Amino acid sequence: MSELLNKAKSARFRWQLLTTVSALSLIAGEVVCQDAAASSREGGGNTVWIELGGQLERIGGTGDPFTPDFTFATPTPGAFKPESPIDAQQQGRYGFGGEGKISFRPGGAQWIFSAAVRYGRSNSNKHIQKQTNFPSHKRVFHTPSFSTSYMRPANLADFAETRASKEESHAIADFQAGKDVGLGMFGRASTSTFSFGARFAQFTSRANVNIKARPDLEYYNGLASHNTGNPSKYFYNAVPKFHAYTAVGQNTRSFHGIGPSVSWNASAPVVGNPESATVAVDWGINASILFGRQKANVSHQTSAHYFRYKYVNPTHIFQGLTHYVTTINRGGHSNSRSVVVPNVGGFVGLSMKLPNSQVSFGYRGDIFFGAMDTGIDARHSSNTSFQGPYAKISIGFGG
């Protein structure tokens, strides 16, 4: 019952938030219309800018890796080098994405309406298989009359196999009304625009992992058997014992939220003629508070088996296998709750501006505090971040 009440309160709050943002937008729209009407009487025209671009983003805070106890063996087993089962689960280094924006500025007015969307995703699929060299060990041949020994390669070795897949996607949409409050503040043809509106964000991630490993193979002295049943005629040492592990895990995580946003974007020309072409320095900062829901569904299981052979026969086959211990550990958690996520970001770049077009590139970053539940066995909120270079082209119509 309390959960239903909480959902109802959350829904009412989001509705009030959207109503407030809509009201502010309508007020801004009325001001824009008045400015546009005044501009039209003065003979001004409308200007629409369409912007398209792409980005290469470093993504952080999408989920913790599965870390069964055996992956922390010390010293590090040879089968876990150079990449361990934990390393194999890392998120892809970069994600790729695109963006689009449309801006409407009534001719001669200082107000700007804009709608923008960014989308990105990353995928990582790894299959790492490592087996150490077969160790050599001493074997002894013994009879009542003489004894001799020799080195022989073993027929077992340490190994580890990890299959891990991870995918992530994110979408950010902004709807804003802004006003150029500092025309010429940083020189001729410079701009300084403050905007307010609403931001929507949605993040999702999924991961699957399957690990099989025999990281602690050891050999010990063991008595050999002989087909005549006379154990004193043949004696071999170096009989193996080891653990065999299997671990599987799956998770899905998400966050979606909406809330008010503000931003400040500025541009200052450094070289060129505003009537033909200029090169400008661009920068900006943004902030928002998102009200939304954080979800996670995580499960994992680890099985550990201990095996020990007792002897080896004259054809060098290990025999007398004993399965001593089986341990199965299960875990995970499920979470769905309302959260408040502050967001800050910024960018810096360069642009080449022509009268009706513009090419820009730079570096941009956004961080969403406590957006995703990245925990394995319990909830653990982590910051989700996106940062990396971008490039975009803008084309203007009208004016």
**CA-closest candidate to residue 66, choices 295, 333, 398:** 333
Q: Look over the chain and give the mean of its residue pLDDT values, rounded to a whole number.
A: 81
pLDDT range class, residue 315, cuts 50, 70, 90: low
Q: DSSP readout, 140-165? A: EEE-SS-EEEEEEE-S---EEEEEEE
Amino acid present at 346: G
pLDDT at position 314: 57
Q: Which domain holds residue 394?
A: 2-398
Amino acid present at 69: D
Q: Return d(Cα 23, Cα 17) in angstroms, integer.
A: 10
pLDDT digits (tens, 9 = 90+) for 121-157: 999 899 999 988 887 766 666 666 666 666 666 778 8
Q: Would you say residue 10 has pLDDT above 60?
A: no
Q: Return d(Cα 307, Cα 241) in angstroms, integer.
A: 6
pLDDT digits (tens, 9 = 90+) for 191-224: 899 999 999 999 999 999 999 999 988 877 665 5
Q: Return d(Cα 117, Cα 379) in angstroms, integer.
A: 30
Longest alpha-carbon distance in the chain: 120
Token digits of residue 26: 């309508």
Q: Would you say residue 306 has pLDDT above 60?
A: yes
Q: Would you say residue 378 has pLDDT above 70?
A: yes
For residues 53-59, give the mean pLDDT: 93
For residues 67-71, give the mean pLDDT: 91
Q: What is the pTM of this model?
A: 0.79
**Other residues' Cβ atoms within 10 Å of the Cβ of residue 394:** 19
Question: How many domains does one find in the chain?
Answer: 1
Q: DSSP readout, 165-232? A: EEEEEEEEEEEEEEEE--TTTTSTT-EEEEEEEEEEEEEEEEEEEEEEEE---EEE--PPP-TTS-TT
For residues 220-241, give the mean pLDDT: 58
Give the strand pairing for 191-214 and 239-273: antiparallel
Give the strand pairing for 95-105 and 318-319: unpaired
pLDDT digits (tens, 9 = 90+) for 317-344: 666 667 676 788 899 999 999 999 999 9
How does DSSP classify residue 78?
G
Task: State which H helix or E strand residue 12 sits in.
Answer: helix 2-41
Contacts of 351 (CB under 8 A, 6+ apart): 267, 279, 280, 282, 358, 359, 360, 361
Percent of the chain scoring above 70 in pLDDT: 73
pLDDT range class, residue 24, cuts 50, 70, 90: very low
For residues 2-11, give the mean pLDDT: 46
